């Protein structure tokens, strides 16, 4: 018989297990315990570079390649380097290889690449993918010698790798400020870095000047950042001052282009560092599709072995400079580089200007030089010590040979030599290892000369070590040698911001002919005339109808008049384009109309000349100059634009007095010249009585004769107001006298 389950015991047991597994903890304690270590790891060990110019992943890759003998050897498959780097960098193959790619010459991301490559490494300025690691080959570039030339001289500290099986350098003993000659970008937790790249020659001269006088004007030597993709930098002195002193500032860089008149095309061969050819193509294509730029026939990526090239084919008689001005404004062909020089100094992230970076690098470099000098002196002193012992032996070589011959046991040779010539164990061991054939006059003289040279070298190196001035001269001479070997001309040219002619927004707007339509239900259409040639039929919402249509041009202003005493002003080019096959755009959304507000009509003009007549349902009309609606600033909405004592039937615009038509819901009509209505100097006037109404009647029609929909000659023309009006007839009656 099965045992009966004791549910109470099971419940108590589960409660005890739960209490053991879960403990209460405050959110702040959880963040400190669990999140802060992760955040610090990202900042210190992943995203932010140190004063040698490298993030940990980059440093591990370069050091691995150095240990593989790739500084002076041939190329090897990238996959070999990826595999070897995993001994220092416990991350996935893809992450390591992508870091390698960005440092290669083929990728063109670095102005001064540390890795030479063979095969498809992609391009920094393109989204095209690079070849797999098994297909590409890499080796260290000649410039990398400046990273490792002193690494075996105890110039930097080493640490264990992640599993304690190898040693790796904490920093690389760079002989130039590599942190400033190649770009570096990283996003950590609550902070980021974006370091612009400068020209090597300029940085070297600035560093030498800084060593002599740390308050010198660095702008005399550093013109501006210099990017690997070239382009034209719009120079702003205040921004440059901020970058040099504070490390922050947004730099504006634009593409460089040439115009080929024979093919009527623009060839863009340099672009901002922060964009790509794919992004530019997408942005320009979107502008053409949206009708914002109509001068472009085609755009394509013509990049080849010669380098980057984007070809923009223009329509006949297009102005290439104006087209580029528009592209600069609306695309990333002109882009900003937000400088934020954030570097780890002794494990602490600091945002620093170029001056402070040079100061920290100088301290770091001075330490490396001193440690290197101490190492060289120590080695030479050790060698000198050995030769000093040898000198004692060589003065009585026969006695030394006799001591060795008369020693019975091999282990006693070294102690017997020490006792016989008053030398130490190290000197005696060195002497004992000398071959018999080397005990000749030439050997003795060469070792004596070497001893003298060592003494002079030690004296010279010691003199440098104890003299800050000599150390500075050594650093500067090394820097200038590097500039001579590896320096290149600037890729990014400079133009002063005052020389850049920024076109106004109006100048960059396309002007073309179009048809504007307003429907009874409040839908608006702006259709290019070229589009109407292929699709003349208009689609409307069910039971909707066009109440006004007018042909105009895009580069103008449109004024909407609503039934709530408001006037809305818009640039016509700001209104969305429509197609004949669409129902249009709902004006209530575009203009942000109030509840129950409707647009009665619109006015299209390039100036504020002429008159506007408001026709009210109570039979009155208000005529005001159109310039009453002109404002000094660009006000989108003008309230109390007309008197609201009576609902608005409609409003019409006339360049000068001309015929207008009124109609009532009692089928009475009147046609008159607007000159019979007196001009009001105020928009708030009640207007003049125009047509007489019977009780309960209202004016339901007010328009220009051409907008009637039937011949206006059937409506009686009047010369005096107010008038009773009359029915519309087939033939034009005599003019009414009263």
Active site residues: 135
Tokens standing for residue 473: 């001269």
- Residues forming a β-bridge with 250: 338
Tokens standing for residue 546: 């066009």
| Helices of type H across 298-350 | 320-330
Neighbours of 143 (CB within 10 A): 21
Dist. CA 209–CA 214, nearest whole Å = 8
Tokens standing for residue 271: 């672009």
Distance (Å) of CA 96 to CA 186, 374, 589: 15, 36, 51
Dist. CA 314–CA 280, nearest whole Å = 16
* Per-state percent for the chain, helix, strand, coil, to nearest 5: 35, 25, 40
Please, what is the end-to-end C-alpha distance for the chain in angstroms? Answer: 119
In which residue are the tokens 């030439």 written? 442
Q: Are 629 and 567 in contact (CB under 8 A)?
A: yes
Query: Taking Cα atoms as reference points, which of 134, 46, 117 lies closest to residue 82?
Result: 134
Cα-trace Rg, the chain: 43
Dist. CA 283–CA 309, nearest whole Å = 16
Dist. CA 315–CA 306, nearest whole Å = 27
Dist. CA 228–CA 286, nearest whole Å = 28
Dist. CA 47–CA 55, nearest whole Å = 7
Identify the burial level of 405 via C-beta atoms within 10 angstroms of its C-beta, where 0-12 means exposed, 13-18 middle and 19 or more buried: exposed
- Residue 199's contacts (CB-CB under 8 Å, 6 or more residues apart) are 111, 181, 222, 223, 226, 487, 488, 490
Element housing 28 (H / E)? helix 27-30
Tokens standing for residue 576: 């969305």
- Residue 676's contacts (CB-CB under 8 Å, 6 or more residues apart) are 718, 719, 720, 721
Quick one: CA dihedral 663, 669, 675, 678, positive or negative? negative
3-state secondary structure of 649: strand
In which residue are the tokens 């002195």 written? 237
The DSSP call for residue 597 is: -
In angstroms, how far apart are the furthest CA atoms of the chain? Answer: 157
Phi then psi dihedrals of residue 101, to 5 deg: -55, -45
Q: What angle do CA 659, 664, 666 make, to 5 degrees?
A: 140
């Amino acid at each position: 018989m099965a045992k009966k389950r004791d549910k109470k015991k099971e419940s108590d047991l589960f409660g005890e297990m739960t209490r053991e597994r879960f403990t209460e903890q405050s959110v702040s304690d959880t963040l400190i315990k669990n999140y802060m270590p992760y955040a610090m790891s990202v900042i210190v060990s992943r995203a932010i570079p140190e004063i040698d110019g490298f993030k940990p992943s980059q440093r591990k890759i370069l050091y691995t390649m150095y240990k593989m003998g790739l500084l002076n050897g041939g190329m090897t498959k990238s996959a070999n380097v990826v595999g070897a780097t995993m001994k220092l960098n416990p991350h996935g193959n893809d992450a390591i290889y992508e870091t390698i790619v960005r440092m290669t010459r083929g990728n063109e991301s670095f102005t001064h690449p540390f890795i030479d490559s063979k095969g498809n490494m992609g391009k920094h300025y393109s989204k095209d993918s690079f070849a797999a690691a098994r297909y590409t080959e890499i080796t260290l570039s000649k410039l990398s010698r400046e990273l490792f030339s002193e690494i075996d001289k105890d110039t930097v500290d080493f640490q264990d790798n992640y599993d304690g099986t190898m040693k790796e350098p904490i920093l690389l003993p760079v002989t130039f400020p590599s942190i400033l000659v190649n770009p570096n970008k990283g996003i950590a937790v609550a902070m980021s870095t974006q370091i612009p790249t400068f020209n090597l020659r300029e940085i070297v001269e600035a560093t030498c000047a800084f060593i002599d006088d740390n308050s010198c004007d660095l702008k005399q030597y550093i013109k501006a950042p210099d990017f690997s993709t070239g382009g034209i930098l719009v120079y702003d002195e205040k921004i440059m001052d901020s970058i040099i002193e504070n490390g922050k500032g947004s730099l504006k860089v634009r593409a460089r282009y040439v115009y080929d008149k024979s093919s009527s095309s623009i060839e863009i061969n340099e672009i901002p560092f922060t964009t790509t050819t794919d992004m530019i193509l997408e942005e320009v294509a979107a502008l053409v599709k949206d009708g914002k730029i109509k001068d472009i026939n085609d755009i394509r990526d013509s990049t080849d072995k010669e380098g980057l090239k984007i070809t923009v084919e223009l329509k006949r008689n297009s102005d290439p400079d104006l087209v580029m001005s528009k592209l600069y404004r609306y695309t990333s062909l002109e882009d900003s580089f937000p400088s934020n020089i954030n570097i780890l100094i002794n494990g602490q992230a600091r945002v620093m200007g170029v001056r402070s970076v040079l100061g920290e690098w100088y301290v770091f470099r001075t330490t490396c030089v001193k440690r290197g000098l101490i190492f060289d002196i120590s080695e030479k002193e050790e060698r000198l010590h050995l030769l000093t012992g040898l000198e004692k032996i060589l003065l009585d070589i026969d006695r030394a040979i006799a001591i060795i011959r008369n020693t019975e046991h091999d282990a006693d040779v070294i102690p017997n030599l020490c006792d016989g010539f008053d030398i130490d164990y190290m000197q005696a061991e060195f002497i004992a290892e000398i071959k018999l054939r080397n005990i000749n006059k030439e050997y003795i003289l060469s070792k004596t000369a070497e001893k003298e040279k060592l003494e002079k070298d030690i004296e010279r190196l010691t003199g440098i070590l104890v003299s800050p001035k000599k150390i500075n001269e050594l650093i500067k001479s090394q820097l200038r040698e590097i500039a001579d070997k590896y320096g290149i001309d600037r890729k990014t040219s400079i133009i002063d911001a005052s020389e850049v002619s920024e076109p106004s927004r109006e100048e960059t707007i396309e002007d073309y002919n179009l048809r504007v339509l307003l429907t009874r239900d409040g839908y608006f259409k702006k259709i290019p005339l070229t589009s109407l040639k292929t699709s003349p039929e208009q689609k409307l919402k069910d039971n909707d109808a066009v109440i006004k249509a007018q042909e105009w041009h895009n580069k103008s202003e449109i004024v909407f008049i609503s039934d709530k005493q408001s006037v809305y002003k818009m640039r016509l080019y700001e209104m969305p384009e429509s197609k004949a096959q669409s129902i249009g755009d709902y004006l209530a959304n575009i203009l942000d109309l109030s509840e129950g507000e409707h647009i009665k009509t619109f006015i299209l003009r390039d100036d504020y000349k002429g008159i506007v007549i408001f026709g009210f349902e109570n039979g009155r009309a208000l005529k005001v100059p159109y310039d009453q609606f002109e404002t000094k600033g660009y006000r989108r909405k003008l309230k109390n634009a007309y008197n609201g004592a009576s609902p608005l039937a409609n409003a019409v615009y006339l360049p000068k007095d001309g015929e207008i038509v009124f109609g009532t819901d009692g089928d009475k009509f009147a046609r008159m010249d607007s000159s019979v209505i007196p001009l009001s100097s105020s928009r708030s006037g009640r207007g003049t009585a125009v047509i007489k109404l019977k009780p309960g009647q209202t004016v339901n029609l007010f328009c220009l004769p051409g907008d009637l929909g039937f011949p206006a000659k059937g409506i009686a023309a009047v010369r005096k107001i107010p008038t009773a009006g009359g029915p519309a007839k087939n033939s034009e009656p005599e003019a009414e006298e009263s």
